[in-house]
Amino acid sequence: MNKPTINVTPLIDVLLVLLIIFMVVAPLRPSSFKTRIPSESSDLSNGDPHPLLLVAAIESDGSLSLNSQRDLGTAADPSKLTERLRKVFAERKAIVQDSIVSSKDPEPNEEGSVERTVFVKAPRNASYGAVAGVIDAVKLSGAYPIGLQIDGLQ
């Protein structure tokens, strides 16, 4: 009597196909995550914030503020914050364009000259969805890059 045996040829064929698939897909995988780390801080003991600094804060009650301006909507409806940021960026673009007209630079880089960095600040008890919604609203306004302001790290 013949002892039954398993035919491994189809198994090897499937394994070789999977190996080829993984070899093709492996280079497509992202290999890095780009971040910018702040440089060594200078003496900021005077406490005055930079005039171009924009901080979109989520208050503990869910309302939004931009620097010292309050009543810019809520985390559930950040449309007022988005509109306010668009106005700020438009004003900054107009200032840059006025300075470009008065300068002798033949080909200025208008888009790169406008400061559009916005920091998002949220309390520790804020939900992930609320913070993600505000980040999306800030991104929709044209801000780039967007940073997270974290207080009280230990």
Answer whether residue 13 is part of any domain: no
Give me the pLDDT at residue 91, please: 87
DSSP readout, 89-149? HHHHHHHHHHHHHHS--SS--HHHHS---EEEE--TTS-HHHHHHHHHHHHHTT--SEEEE
Answer whether residue 123 is part of any domain: yes
What is the residue range of 87's domain?
54-149
Answer whether residue 3 is part of any domain: no
Q: Give how many domains the chain has, as a whole number.
A: 1
Among the ranges given (39-48, 58-67, 123-132, 141-150), the one the predictor scored with the smallest mean pLDDT: 39-48
Give the pLDDT confidence of 72-121 residue by residue, as tens digits: 889 899 999 999 999 998 888 877 655 545 554 444 444 556 788 899 99
DSSP readout, 128-140? HHHHHHHHHHHHH
User: What's the rounded Cα separation, in Å, for the pair 145 and 154?
Assistant: 25
Answer whether residue 68 is part of any domain: yes
Helices 79-102 and 128-140, packing angle to 10 deg: 30
Determine the residue type at 36: R
How much is the pTM?
0.61
**C-alpha gyration radius of the chain:** 26
Answer whether residue 45 is part of any domain: no
Answer whether residue 9 is part of any domain: no
Residue predicted with more confidence, 107 or 49: 49
Contact 57, 64 (CB under 8 A): yes
Cβ-Cβ contacts under 8 Å for 126 (sequence gap 6 or more): 58, 75
Give me the pLDDT at residue 105, please: 46
Contact 73, 80 (CB under 8 A): yes
Answer whether residue 38 is part of any domain: no
Answer whether residue 21 is part of any domain: no
Task: Give Cα separations from 101 to 50, 124, 137 (angstroms).
Answer: 25, 46, 32
